[in-house]
Structure 1
Amino acid sequence: MRFWALAVSSLFLSYVLLCSCLSNNCNGGTTNGGVGDIITKALFEKMLPHANTDSCHAKGFYTYEAFIAAAKSYPAFATTGSDEIRKREVAAFLGQTSHETTGGTGWKPSDGPYYWGYCYNKEQNPPKDYCQQSTRYPCAAGRNYCGRGPMQLSWNYNYGQYGETIGRKNDLLQDPDQLIKNATMAFEAALWFWMTPQSPKPSCHDVMVGNWHGDGEGRLPGYGEITNIINGGIECNKGQIPEGEDRIGYYKRYCEMLRVGYGENLDCYHQKSYAIVLLVNSM
């Protein structure tokens, strides 16, 4: 009887260990869970300590719940590859969007500039209306398609293309401020930009998960390529500039908080920038 009990106990333990290996990959791979497995609400709020304070214009807008809900619309985000790759992609997304929405530049905050992400949800004092004449994505009279949301989505054709994916193209072109009325939609728009290649640019996602290996023109895989995709015409191939340093500073801080290495090619200081390209189908 004692031997039978020991055998059953051993069999049960083996089953538990097997299930654990199957779900967590015993060879050091990935759990392939959602973005919530990578970043908890507590960590998200620690990364963005001022986002819900009176110091930030967008106080209370960017919530963890909205981020997680939006990520469900793009299931490959932060679920592709090893846990290292997944963490690095989250750090890269938050690093770039923190720079885009930063409230930490232009002064010397006591805790440093890389604690002030997600302070804005709309571009301040836009220099133009960001309207590119288009029959497919026509600009509405009096509307400004300036930066909104975490990625500061700009230009009528980007609002139109994202709008098409959710069946609300005309709504967004008529009222681009919808992106600052709905935090989940704002995060979805940012993730749409992140996940979608716009030739000749690869998607930010493909760069960070290793699906893009360079283009033979001096552009290399790494965080610097993400900067090139987002704002290369202004920031890349111009040597070391404060904007690039700010993007990298946020990224490094988040990598350290997620306990993952930075990877290679963090800047685009000497990387050929992309010319402003309008998709043929956006005209």
Structure 2
Amino acid sequence: MPEFETAAIIGAGVAGLACAQDLRAAGVDVVVYEKSRGPGGRTATRREGSLRFDHGAQHLDPGALDGTRAAATVAAWRPRRTGDLRATAPLGDVPVPTMSAAARALADGVTVTARTLVQPLRALADGGALLATADGPLPPADRVVVAVPAPQAAVLLQHISPPLAAAAFAVPYDPCWTAMVAWDRALNLPVDVHDAPGDDLVWAAAQAPRPGREPGERWVLQASAAWSAEHLEDAPESAALALLDRFAGTVAAAVDLPQPALLTAHRWRYAEPSAPLPERCLTAGPLAVAGDWLGGGRVAGAIASGRAAAAALLS
């Protein structure tokens, strides 16, 4: 049995959820706090009316979910490409029927308290951590895991552990503007995936050909880190129109695009760590820190970091 009974995890992305599952399996009573309306983080799926878009991470490295409760949710994705684009080949694993299915599987049996913005942690006299929102204290926990992007972790840790906060503050993140666009008729493009590293539009993916998705002409368009940083404070409408224009000039250059039925955008301010730390997790007393910025990045790295944090607390 572990030496502690309760744990609070801040962040319901895959790092926090993987950590929660391992702690729960060891007999720890776990609560996960998430500022958004549901779990998933950058593996979330956006719903616009009846339409769904995988608007964050587009695929997983094969085996990223191995050893987790979400392993059964994935299917291989084999995109269709022609012309001067790369030949058809398996691109990676994709959770079915949405990217968020993996997070829902990881959250199974875990208490996730959504729409809860935890304030910077404060040290208690007994060495523990005070968790609170703007409305007041949260239930105490024997251990606390911070599983959010490094800039947000630095803010949460600044008072309770300046060394951990400094480590998190030093990790840079790239932003990413993502546009979601839908048409009410088929475009009949000869490709359903386009990736062009270095261009303003680095990724475009049709949603319907992905495993288990509903039909319909829906695309996710993702900007480069450089373009996203330059336009970080643009209005979503402006960013969406700019990315649609680039889509029309590259992926759909041979097609006279009709007016879209839907066009919107989402800004991922902390999309991907550009220089992750080598450590898989960080610890200090009753605190542990996990995330994709520790030990390698991407979804597989985030899951491994969350599990490493659980193992460190349980050891």
Q: What TM-score does the superposition give when structure 2 sets the normalisation length?
A: 0.21
Larger Rg over CA atoms:
1
Q: Which has the higher contact order (CA 8 A, sep 6+)?
A: 2
Bigger share in helix: 1
Bigger share in strand: 2
Q: What TM-score does the superposition give when structure 1 sets the normalisation length?
A: 0.22
